Amino acid sequence: MINITFPDGNVKQFEAPTDGFAVAASISEGFARNCVAMEIDGMLLDLSAQIDKDTSVSFLTSKDEQALEIMRHSAAHVMAQAILNLYPKAKLTIGPTVENGFYYDIDMEPISEDDFPKIEAEIKKIIKAKIPIVRREVAKQEAVEFYKDEPYKLEMIAGLDDGTISFYSQGEFTDLCRGPHVPNTGYIKAIKLMKVSGAYWRADPANPQLQRIYGTAFFDKKELKKYLNFLEEARKRDHRKIGAALDLFSFHDEAPGMPFFHPNGMEIWNALLDYWREEHRVAGYVETKTPLILNRSLWEQSGHWENYRDNMYTVVIDETESAIKPMNCPGGMLLYKRKRHSYKDLPLRAGEVGLVHRHELSGVLSGLFRVRAFHQDDAHIFMTPDQIKDEIIGVLRLVERMYKTFGLGFHLELSTRPKKSIGSDEQWESATYGLSSALDEYGLEYKINEGDGAFYGPKIDIHINDAIGRTWQCGTIQLDMSLPERFDLSYIGADNDKHRPVMIHRVIYGSIERFLGILIEHFAGKFPLWLAPVQIVILPINDDLAPFAEKLHRTFEKAGLRSSVDGRTESLKKKVREAQLNQIPLIITAGEKERENGTLSVRTLDGKIRFGVSAAEFIKSANENIVARNLELDMFGD
C-alpha cells in the first residue's frame, strides 16, 4: 500500500502502483475530468505518471494558470501535427509557450494568414478525435535513430545529456518534448492561429529562415472570444497608428529605429519633462547632463565594454576608440568624483534625462516601444549604507505618486544576481538584502525573479498596468555596490575616514519614448488636458469671424494654453468632427452671438456643450485643470 497526501492534509491509501488518473478519480469523477496534470515533489507530471511510493500530490485543473500553459504546449503539438498532415515535407524545430499563447518554428514553404483556415480545420479534426497524448522515454541513441531524417531535432538531441529522452505521441505524430501534456487532444477547447513571421534557427542569421507560426488556446470558447476582443481593443490603441493620426512622431529610413518628434509630439514630451522636473525638485534631486560620447577606457572601467559591448555604437576620435553611451551611469560616476564629499552631503540625488543609443536588431524594432535612440530619465543616488532602506522607499513613493498622475497602477518584482555579473558575493548579498528589506517595509506584495538582475546589481522592476489591463515594465531601481568600487568613489565619514558610498540607479518613465508610446495607448490618444498637444481649437463659423477667432487664440496663448484656429472654409459640423477625431479636448465655436456678448460656446470631447462662458472663467477653469493635472475634463462641475 502507498499513502497519498493531499494539499488539505488528508491521506488516502492505494495499492501500488497507481497513477494520477486513479488518484484524481478517488476524489470524484467530476474533479478528475477537470484535472490537467499533477505536481509531485515540486515536479509537474502527466496524469498518467506512475506513483509507486508514499508522496504528496496536488492537481492542476483547468482553472490554474499553469494548466493553461500546459494545454497551450499541447496545442503547439496539435498545430505541428496538423501542419505535417498538410505539408509533409515540413521540418519541425521547437514549439514553446509564450505569453498568451504559443508558437512553433518550422522549416517549410512560406505560408500566410490566408492559409490559416485550412490549418485550423485540420487542427479541429485532431481535437475532435480526442487522441491520447502518450509519453515514452527512450535511450539517446534510439532518439537519434528515430530522428535520423530530422536535422533540427538531431541538433537538439546532440545538446542533451546522455540518458533517457522523452517523446510524446498523439496517434502517428511524435515530438521530442519534456512535457507534461494534457491527457488527450480533446482538452483543447478553443484554439486560433494568430500570425506568421520569419525567424532564424537559433536566432542566427547564418542559419535557415523558418516559419514562426503563432497561436493561442483556451479551455473555454468564451475566454478565447474575450481575448480576441481585447486584441481588437489593443489594435485600435496602436500608438503607431494614433501617433500618425495625431501627427506626433515618425520614423525615417535615414535613421532606422530612431524616432523624429513633430511639434505635437514635442508638446506632450515637454509636458512630461516639466512634470518630471517638478516632482524631482520636490523630492530633493538636482539635475545634471553628461556627454554623449565617452572613451573606451571609461566603459572598460565601468564593465560595460566587457558585458554590453555588442549593444554599443563605437567611434574613433583622435585615434582613440570611444562609444556613444548606452547608459548614463559612468558619466554620473565622473561627476560625483570631481570633488570630495562628506557624509553630511549624502544622500546625493542626481537626475539626468540622457540620450542613449543601443544597437537593437532591426527585426525587433517596434514603434516607440523598441528603438535604438532614446532618453532615459536616469537618477543616481549616492548614500551611506544606513540610508539604503529610506532611499529605496523614497523612490517607491515617488514612483507611486507619478504613476498615479497618469492613472497607472503597478506591481513590483525583485530580480536577483544573473550568471554574468561583476562584484563579490558579499556585495550581492548585501545589495539584495537592502532591496528586499525596503520592499518588505514598503508593504506592497512583490514577486522574485531569480537571476534576472543587472550585471552590476540586483534590481526592483516596476510593472505598470494600463487602461485595458496590459502590463509594461518601465521603472526600475537598481542597487549597486560595484561601480562605486570600480570608480573608487568615497566620502568622508563622521570618523574622518574614507568610506565607500552605495548607489542606486533608477528610472521612472524608463525610456521617455517608450513611456510616451504606452501613454498613447493607455489614453487611446484622448489625452488629459495637461498632456494634450492641442488643448483648444477655435472654429469661426464664417470668414467674417476669423479676426475674433484669432483674438481668442492670442488670449489663450498668452494665458499659457495651447490653442489653434481652424479657419478653413468647411462646414462647422465637419470641423467639429475633425477636431473630435484629432482628440482636441476643448472645441470653441466662434459665432456672431459670442462676439457680441464676449462669451464662449465650449464643446468637450464627450459631446457636452456649455454656452455663455466668459473668457476669464474659461481660462481659470482650464488652467486649474492643467495645474492639478486632472485625468478628467470636469471644468465646469457638470
Number of domains in the chain: 4
Residue tagged active-site, from 73, 153, 357, 358: 358
Asked if residue 299 belongs to a domain, the reply is no
Stated as kind and residue range, the H or E segment containing 497 is: none
- The reply to whether 515 and 582 lie within a common domain is no
- The reply to whether 281 and 333 lie within a common domain is yes
Query: What parts of the chain have a pLDDT lower than 70?
Result: 636-638
Report CA torsion sign: 424, 425, 428, 431.
negative
- The reply to whether 617 and 569 lie within a common domain is yes
Report CA torsion sign: 84, 88, 93, 99.
negative
Helix, strand, or coil (residue 444): coil
Residue tagged active-site, from 81, 170, 211, 376: 376
Instruction: Give the domain CATH number at 168.
Output: 3.30.980.10
Domain stops at, among 43, 61, 79: 61
427 is catalytic: no
- The reply to whether 282 and 150 lie within a common domain is no
Residue tagged active-site, from 325, 459, 506, 603: 459
Asked if residue 173 belongs to a domain, the reply is yes
Instruction: Give the domain CATH number at 38.
Output: 3.10.20.30
Phi, psi of 444 (to 5 degrees): -90, 135
Stated as kind and residue range, the H or E segment containing 408 is: none
Domain stops at, among 26, 43, 61: 61
* Nearest-angstrom CA–CA distance, 105 and 107: 7
Q: Which cell numbers hold the place of 533?
A: 498637444
Report CA torsion sign: 432, 436, 442, 445.
positive
Asked if residue 399 belongs to a domain, the reply is yes
- The reply to whether 153 and 230 lie within a common domain is yes
Question: CA–CA distance from 74 to each of 70, 100, 226 (Å)?
Answer: 6, 14, 21
Asked if residue 313 belongs to a domain, the reply is no
Whether the CB-CB separation of 180 and 67 falls below 8 Å is answered with no
177 is catalytic: no
* Nearest-angstrom CA–CA distance, 456 and 421: 6
73 is catalytic: no
* Nearest-angstrom CA–CA distance, 461 and 448: 10
- The reply to whether 272 and 395 lie within a common domain is yes
386 is catalytic: no
- The whole domain housing 340 covers 256-290+326-523
Asked if residue 314 belongs to a domain, the reply is no
Asked if residue 529 belongs to a domain, the reply is no
Asked if residue 138 belongs to a domain, the reply is yes
- The reply to whether 476 and 571 lie within a common domain is no
378 is catalytic: yes
* Nearest-angstrom CA–CA distance, 141 and 163: 9
pTM, rounded to two decimals = 0.83
Domain stops at, among 523, 554, 589: 523
Per-residue pLDDT of 555-609, as tens digits, reads 999 999 999 999 998 899 999 999 999 999 999 999 999 999 989 999 998 888 9
Whether the CB-CB separation of 585 and 605 falls below 8 Å is answered with yes
Q: To 10 degrees, the CA torsion angle through 294, 296, 299, 304?
A: 120
Q: Mind giving me the DSSP string for 3-51?
A: EEE-TTS-EEEEPSSEEHHHHHHHH-HHHHHHEEEEEETTEEE-TT-EE
What local confidence, expressed as pLDDT, does residue 637 receive?
Answer: 62
Nearest to 80 by CA among 185, 223, 225: 185
Residue tagged active-site, from 19, 105, 378, 480: 378
- The reply to whether 401 and 482 lie within a common domain is yes
* Nearest-angstrom CA–CA distance, 594 and 262: 33
- The reply to whether 29 and 84 lie within a common domain is no
Q: How large is the angle between the packed helices 116-128 and 65-86, nearest 10 degrees? A: 110
463 is catalytic: no
Q: Which residue pairs from 17-25 have beta carbons closer than 8 angstroms and sit at least 24 positions apart in sequence? A: 17/50, 17/51, 17/52, 18/50, 18/51, 19/47, 19/48, 19/49, 19/50, 19/51, 20/45, 20/46, 20/47, 20/48, 20/49, 20/51, 20/57, 20/59, 21/47, 21/48, 21/183, 23/51, 23/57, 24/59
- The reply to whether 100 and 45 lie within a common domain is no
- The reply to whether 86 and 228 lie within a common domain is yes
387 is catalytic: no
Asked if residue 319 belongs to a domain, the reply is no
* Nearest-angstrom CA–CA distance, 268 and 368: 14
* Nearest-angstrom CA–CA distance, 112 and 125: 21
Residue tagged active-site, from 505, 514, 522, 553: 505
Residue with cell string 498622475: 405
Residue tagged active-site, from 35, 177, 329, 474: 329
Instruction: Give the domain CATH number at 451.
Output: 3.30.930.10
* Nearest-angstrom CA–CA distance, 4 and 2: 7
- The reply to whether 55 and 93 lie within a common domain is no
What local confidence, expressed as pLDDT, does residue 509 receive?
Answer: 96
